[in-house]
Amino acid sequence: MDWPVGPTHQVRQTLRAPGIAIRDLRPVWKRFVITLQSRHRRTFDSMADPFTGAAWTPLDPDYAKTKPAGTRKKILYRTGRLRKSMTMGGKSADSIIILEPKRITYGSRVPYGIFHQVTERIRKDGAPRKRRFRGMKVPDDLKILMGFLKTHIVSMAARARRGSVNA
């Protein structure tokens, strides 16, 4: 997932805590994945862009008629596969969650998802086909991530202090 430049700069500044070398953020990412899953659950429930909160383009009425009963009003939901991939983590084979020391990769292997995320195509009636489902709400999610980062830094400092006392 990409973040706007401003928030990215803010996270990088926090990571440059004086006197602390942050080498492994996987404990932070493990906590933040829960936030991401919750964010995406709300995105699918509200059927709205995660960045702006703008409602997704309503389904084409002719297409809605072809969907299984119970899903005709749900946007980006036919089988639940895309939603599960973004909200269920390890319980979905389609989830992509890769935690590395300095990076997190979070997304979906569902092949049609990328089309909805980035297309610039429009329907015959002029409505956009783009329905962003993947992303974070700035500043809300940034505030949560910053809290996790600061807690991690304080925890590292406390461990370092205990280590020097015991040395």
Residue pLDDT, tens place only, 49-108: 998 899 999 999 999 999 999 999 999 999 999 999 999 988 999 999 999 999 999 999
pLDDT at 138: 79
Task: Give the residues across from 65 on adjacent strands.
Answer: none
Amino acid at site 60: D
pLDDT at 8 over 70: no
Write down the pLDDT at residue 7. Answer: 65
Q: Please determine, for residue 1, whether its predicted confidence score (pLDDT) is greater than 70.
A: no
pLDDT tens string 13-43? 666 656 667 889 999 999 999 999 999 999 9
**Structure token digits, residue 95:** 């989830």
Q: Give me the number of domains the chain comprises.
A: 1
Rounded to whole angstroms, the Cα distance separating 129 from 124 reads: 10
Q: Which structural domain range is residue 91 located in?
A: 5-166
With 50 as the cut, is the pLDDT of residue 165 above it? no
Name the pTM for this structure.
0.82
- What are the tokens at 62? 């002719």
154 vs 27, more confident: 27
